[in-house]
């Protein structure tokens, strides 16, 4: 159980809604999220290209199932559908920007930067899905740190950072700006070894508690990370 004064945030790469059993199920994704009752959720690999004829877009379906307010960041748009990430909140958003953090000719990547007007105060959220190459991730981390430094406001940065090579990579770029971070192994979900999915917080006392949901190992190839934070 979480304290009533905390805010719960969550990040999850949902693998397009396809689980490790090969089944496509947005219902399973929505039920897993709802079980933890998060206030703010960042979802990566939201993919409408996988939906069946007549089904609503997962961007719409997941927003309706999880929260009242949503921001979409679609990095790939084709005739078959759209692919990207989204941020969903039970509270309204303030000033919002979707940043293009694509590195060179690599796969298009986006970062969502917004203010969340919670009942206990306002905090900033930066949600991202980093690339697969080391140079790409370093560049993207530096860009997000530059965003974080613009305003001295409690900040949560969360997402799939795709970083399995910690020495000399993202840790050196991020640790000074975000002294509090989760350290849970999340990938592959059936036998998690790599800490790809993380939640970073500033200032350090913001992060109170964090955990992963191992019961979600069939819903996606990543485990969701959940954290309770305080905003003062």
Query: How, if at all, do strands 7-13 and 40-47 pair?
Result: parallel
Confidence band, pLDDT 50/70/90 cuts, at residue 221: very high
C-alpha span between 32 and 105 (Å, rounded): 35
Tokens of 47: 């993919």
More confident residue, 203 or 4: 203
Q: Contact 12/19 with Cβ under 8 angstroms?
A: no
Tokens of 40: 């703010």
Helix or strand run (H / E) with residue 14: none
pLDDT at position 2 over 80? no
Is residue 37 left, alpha or beta, with left meaning phi > 0 and alpha meaning psi from -120 to 50? left
Neighbours of 37 (CB within 10 A): 11
94 pLDDT more than 90: yes
Across 1-5, 71-75, 86-90, 131-135, least confident range: 1-5
Per residue in 105-134, pLDDT tens? 888 899 999 999 998 889 999 999 998 888
- 167 pLDDT more than 80: no
Q: Residue 153 in contact with residue 125, Cβ under 8 Å?
A: no
According to CATH, the superfamily of the domain at 7-229 is: Endonuclease/exonuclease/phosphatase (3.60.10.10)
Q: What is the 3-state secondary structure (H, E, C) of 137-168?
A: HHHHHHHHHHHHCCCCCCEEEEEECCCCCCCC
Give the predicted TM-score (pTM) of the model.
Answer: 0.93
């Amino acid at each position: 159980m979480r304290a009533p004064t905390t805010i719960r945030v969550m990040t999850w790469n949902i693998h397009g809604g396809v689980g490790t059993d090969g089944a496509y199920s947005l219902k399973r994704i929505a039920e897993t999220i709802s079980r933890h009752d998060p206030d703010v959720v960042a979802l990566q690999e939201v993919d409408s290209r996988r939906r069946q004829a007549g089904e609503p877009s997962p961007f719409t379906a997941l927003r309706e199932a999880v929260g009242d307010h949503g921001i979409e960041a679609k990095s790939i748009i084709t005739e078959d559908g759209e692919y990207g990430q989204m941020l969903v909140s039970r509270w309204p958003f303030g000033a919002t920007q979707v940043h293009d953090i694509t590195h060179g000719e690599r796969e298009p990547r986006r970062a969502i930067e917004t203010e969340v007007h919670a009942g206990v105060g306002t905090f900033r959220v930066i949600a991202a899905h980093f690339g697969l190459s080391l140079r790409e991730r370093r560049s993207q981390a530096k860009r997000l740190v530059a965003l974080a430094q613009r305003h001295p406001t409690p900040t949560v940065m969360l997402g799939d950072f795709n970083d399995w090579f910690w020495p000399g990579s993202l840790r050196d770029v991020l640790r000074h700006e975000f002294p509090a971070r989760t350290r849970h192994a999340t990938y592959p979900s059936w036998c998690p070894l790599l800490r790809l999915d993380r939640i970073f917080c500033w200032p350090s006392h913001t992060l109170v508690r964090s955990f992963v949901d191992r019961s979600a190992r069939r819903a996606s190839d990543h485990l969701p990370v959940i954290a309770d934070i305080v905003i003062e």
